[in-house]
């Protein structure tokens, strides 16, 4: 047997492989992201989210019949049960949408039992339901929070257009529909990040898929994972005007503060997802029905940052552009991370299924640094150096 001696603790498991995976590939130096070997830029232009979800989960692009069946299965499972909607009505109005999403996803496990995760049919239908219902939950929770009736999904609309319709009770402009769909594709997978790891760990216990996805949603809700795009919008609101961009950036750098949406741990030359979104900014500016103010502002930020941070290999990341694009399309800021989850669910499900193929329950070790063989001191004799 191969001898393994891994005694050094690696904080955050940085650089430690946690699984063998054939789902997505990143080359940070070259700025490459591929799903099942296909570059993200190609998928963003030629494919759509439903097809990308199929590709990630089942490993290959679907043929026409497979695509139509998967699309129709997802489309016809977008509705929420009345009891689930009733349950949502009782949730607090000031709750964060990620809490709603996690709670309702978890509750779905009681309505659609899927405990036998080794059964292929169970896996297929739970994947279909999760992809289909996450947008309905996000839209319904947003409307309920604002005192509005949830809107029933429309099967005649595309996946992205239906989500927009359930949020705003009107159909999106074709450009907005295309961008929303691409946004889901761009967020659908990103190798072994924290929420994906979470889905593999929970999946390795043979827990049901609703529990797995709700755990991944909880992991994504932390500000160190999802959420940088919300910060970008806050920053742009603080900047306010084009004239204020330079003084604002200068002052922030002076205080040694990071500029939100700039730089990336992995992508050191370009973030390919950001590049795709950057292309949309020009289209949004050119569109006569869309206010271009925030896009003009973002271009100025990009310009000043490039000038001020030249030589540091820092570039706008996906969150920079997604924050701006969402904001410019009128998407409420607290829905950015839930929309991220609507796309990433495809990756979580793909990783769960891949995990099951060669499953071994995750059981890492620890480096114990606590005391040993301590006496038990009776309560009346316990003294603390400092009071708590
Ligand atoms: C993403 C991030 C954590 C990557 O950090 P990192 O890998 O540690 O970055 P590096 O250490 O390679 O940074 C190199 C240099 O650029 C600086 N830098 C990195 N990101 C910066 C930013 N957003 N604004 C200003 N300076 C930045 C660092 O301070 C460092 O400067 P130094 O060499 O003078 O010490 C960081 O860029 C950041 O916090 N960005 C803003 C938040 C954000 O957009 N997060 C979403 C990521 S998808």
- Are 216 and 236 found together in one domain? no
- pTM, to two decimals: 0.93
How far separated are the first and last CA of the chain, in Å rounded?
50
Query: pLDDT tens, 251-287?
Result: 999 999 999 999 998 898 899 999 999 999 889 888 8
Query: pLDDT tens, 46-77?
Result: 999 999 999 999 999 999 999 999 999 999 99
- Rounded mean pLDDT, 347-359: 97
Q: Is 259 in the pocket of ligand 1 (CB under 6 A)?
A: yes
> Is 363 part of a structural domain of the chain?
no
Q: Is 317 in the pocket of ligand 1 (CB under 6 A)?
A: yes
> Is 313 part of a structural domain of the chain?
yes
- Are 234 and 219 found together in one domain? no
- Are 283 and 345 found together in one domain? no
Predicted local confidence at residue 248, as pLDDT: 95
Determine the Cα–Cα distance for residues 353 and 336; give it in Å rounded to an integer: 26
Query: pLDDT tens, 136-149?
Result: 999 999 999 999 99
- Are 239 and 299 found together in one domain? yes
- Are 61 and 195 found together in one domain? yes
- Rounded mean pLDDT, 159-182: 97
> Is 44 part of a structural domain of the chain?
yes
- Are 110 and 239 found together in one domain? no
Determine the Cα–Cα distance for residues 128 and 124; give it in Å rounded to an integer: 6
> Is 382 part of a structural domain of the chain?
no
For residue 211, what are the CA distances in angstroms to 58, 71, 72, 104? Answer: 21, 24, 25, 11
- Are 254 and 203 found together in one domain? no
CA–centroid distance, 263 to ligand 1, in Å, is: 5
pLDDT surpassing 50 at residue 1: no
Total structural domains in the chain? Answer: 2
**92-106, 201-215, 294-308, 331-345 — which is least confidently predicted?**
294-308
- Are 205 and 258 found together in one domain? no
Query: pLDDT tens, 12-52?
Result: 999 899 999 999 999 999 999 999 999 999 999 999 999 99
- DSSP lists the bridge partners of residue 145 as none
For the chain, give the mean pLDDT: 93
> Is 218 part of a structural domain of the chain?
yes
pLDDT surpassing 60 at residue 10: yes
Residue 142's domain comprises: 18-225+335-357
- pLDDT category, 350, cuts 50, 70, 90? very high
- pLDDT category, 6, cuts 50, 70, 90? low
- Are 239 and 293 found together in one domain? yes
Determine the Cα–Cα distance for residues 186 and 180; give it in Å rounded to an integer: 10
Atom of ligand 1 nearest to the CA of 253: 25
- Are 39 and 172 found together in one domain? yes
Q: Is 190 in the pocket of ligand 1 (CB under 6 A)?
A: no
- Are 214 and 247 found together in one domain? no
- Are 137 and 161 found together in one domain? yes
């Amino acid at each position: 047997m191969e001898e393994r001696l891994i005694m050094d603790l690696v904080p955050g498991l940085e650089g430690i492989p946690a699984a063998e995976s054939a789902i997505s590939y990143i080359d940070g130096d070259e700025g490459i992201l591929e799903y099942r070997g296909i570059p993200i830029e190609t998928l963003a232009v030629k494919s759509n989210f439903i097809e990308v979800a199929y590709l990630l989960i089942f490993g290959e692009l679907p043929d026409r019949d497979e695509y139509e069946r998967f699309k129709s299965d997802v489309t016809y499972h977008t509705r929420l049960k009345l009891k689930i909607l009733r349950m949502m009505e009782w949730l607090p109005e000031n709750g964060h949408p990620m809490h709603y999403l996690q709670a309702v996803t978890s509750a779905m496990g009681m309505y659609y039992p899927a405990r036998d995760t080794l059964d292929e049919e169970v896996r297929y239908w739970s994947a279909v339901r999760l992809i289909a219902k996450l947008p309905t939950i996000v839209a319904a929770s947003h409307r309920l929070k604002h005192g509005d009736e949830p809107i029933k999904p429309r099967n005649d609309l595309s996946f992205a257009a239906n989500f927009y319709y359930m949020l705003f009770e009107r159909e999106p402009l074709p450009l907005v529909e295309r961008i929303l769909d691409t946004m889901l594709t761009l967020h659908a997978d990103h190798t072994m990040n924290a929420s994906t790891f979470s889905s593999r760990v929970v999946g390795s216990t043979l827990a049901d898929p609703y529990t797995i996805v709700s755990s991944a949603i909880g992991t994504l809700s932390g500000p160190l994972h999802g959420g940088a795009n919300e910060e970008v919008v806050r920053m742009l609101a603080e900047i306010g005007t084009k004239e204020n961009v330079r003084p604002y950036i200068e002052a922030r750098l002076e205080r040694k503060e990071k500029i939100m949406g700039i730089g990336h741990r992995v992508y050191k030359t370009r973030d390919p997802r950001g590049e795709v979104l950057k292309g949309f900014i020009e289209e949004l500016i050119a569109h006569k029905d869309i206010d271009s103010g925030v896009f003009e502002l973002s271009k100025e930020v990009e310009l000043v940052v490039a000038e001020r941070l030249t030589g540091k290999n820092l570039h706008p990341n996906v969150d920079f552009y997604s924050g701006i694009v969402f904001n410019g399309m009128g998407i409420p800021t607290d829905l950015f991370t839930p929309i991220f989850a609507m796309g990433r669910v495809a990756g979580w499900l793909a990783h769960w299924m891949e995990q099951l193929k060669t499953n071994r329950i995750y059981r890492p070790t620890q480096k114990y640094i606590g005391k040993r063989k301590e006496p038990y001191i009776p309560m009346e004799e316990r003294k603390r150096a400092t009071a708590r």
